[in-house]
Structure 1
Amino acid sequence: MTAPLFKGVITALITPLRDGNVDESAFERLVERQIAAGVHGLVPMGTTGESATLHPDEHRRVVELCVTIAAGRVRVIAGAGATATDKAIELVRHAKTVGADAALVVTPYYNRPSQAGLALHYEAIAEAVQLPVILYNVPSRTGVDLANETVARLAAHPNIVGIKDATGDMARPSWMRANIDAAFDLMSGDDPSGLGHMALGGVGVISVTSNVAPEAMVALYEAFAAGDLATARAWQERLIGLHRALFLDNSPAPAKYALARLGLCAEEVRLPLSPTADAVKPAIDSALAAAGVL
């Protein structure tokens, strides 16, 4: 199998906010912390970055800022999803202009296109901009599922290089490895099942948990990559409570709460998201302690 273009722990970054605005100094601290922890890549302006509520100029600024801070030390995969194909193309084009290494393009949400429409959407993006495109399938949020057969069709395009699969469906990586001939990077977008996904042919995880516990996530991946499944499983068991705790309320509010407990940013999210409910904060604190973070 051809070596993957993108692999390892790639953090789906939060976007820190303060007084209604992007907190650029906190964002820089978070990016530097990720790089120091040894992550393999960063995703600004994905779902966890609150891309659905940030203004277009904020979206572009965060992507550009991430590329500038990273300065080539790790790969930057810019979130570039939109409900309309032309808007997604604009975001991918901007990502290329500012020096991102790839674009992560979520399936168009709300309008629920057919599989034919999804294929045409991604093919139009891949033809319009010469930047590697990573598909992003998260039907629990978008209302549409990118079928395996559609992924196989898209994998044949030279500019479409992988997928972030956030379904948690463990049959999918096996089917894709069996049915996709081209070099195509399979990445999990679901932390609780990320280790299982890698065991079935995945090459890494685009992670929410690594916002909070980047060293532990890197240790898990490196143990697996070295063939030490027992150690990787031990890390997974240490982190499983945190994986789940970070989704006890509307994401990314719990991740922001956890990072605020670590003194790294404010808890602030943008409406219609709400701050983490007080009722679930003790469970997040317990998960942070169990993971050795707090």
Structure 2
Amino acid sequence: MSVMDEVGVVHLVRACNGVEPLRRFLDSYVRYPAGLPHELLFILKGFRRGVVPPEIAMLLDRVPHRTIAVADRGFDIEPYRAAALQLRQQYVCFFNSFSEILAEDWLEKLHRHAAGPGVGIAGATGSWESLLSTYESSCRERQTMLPHKRVLRGMELRRLRDAFPPFPNPHLRTNAFCIRRDLFIEAVGNLKIRDKMAAHRFESGRDGLSGRILSKGLSLLVVGRDGAGFTAEQWPQSLTFRFGKQENLLVADNRTRHYEMSGEGEKSLLRSHAWGMLAQ
């Protein structure tokens, strides 16, 4: 099997996002060589009858590609599954609609680590954040509230405790990652993601993508701009997500850009959510 047969690259294009996110991705895709031959597949999400407006079509025509059209539901994971079922490569590298490549040989770096022994998935960013622990912290900061509000908070906490591990909760973020295609299809199964909480559960919950990979005895790696692979305990020092100046980040997205543009007070809060006391 040739390397061309082995790697597929998938980028999500959402109709509701307009032109600029796609332009940003394509500018970076053209600027930075992938380092590996590959097939490029665009998921056209939410375009009526799969027909894109001329300004989108002109951008897509900048590079060799093929497309699939999906309805505007299921957040990112269901369209990713649809793309994986269309492809025949052994590995697939997924990029969400806000992704921007920041360095050359990005695909070689992600694929090399994803294909390493004992590795289940390699991504551009990871976090230790727990939505449960973040919510508990916010509850402690709001001790004075009406009785019915306390009941609602208690119900929400029970729901979150069932769904999410407490901090630290290492998980790879699904903005940019490379994984064996059959492993991804197996991990996703016939999952239906109909709301934001379900999407959070799949990204960082007990039975989410990272949890399912770990349950198979496989590891999660973050891959930096420098081409190094980092295990979960090394993620804060990898300087890829909400730490330092994120100077080793391989693929940016709206969350990494938000951190970069935030003031010091908000940066400190975001760091503490992601890394706890290490952020101090």
Structure 1 length as normaliser, TM-score?
A: 0.34
Structure 2 length as normaliser, TM-score?
A: 0.35
Bigger relative contact order, structure 1 or 2 (CA pairs below 8 A, ≥6 apart) = 2
Q: Whose radius of gyration is greater, 1 or 2?
A: 2
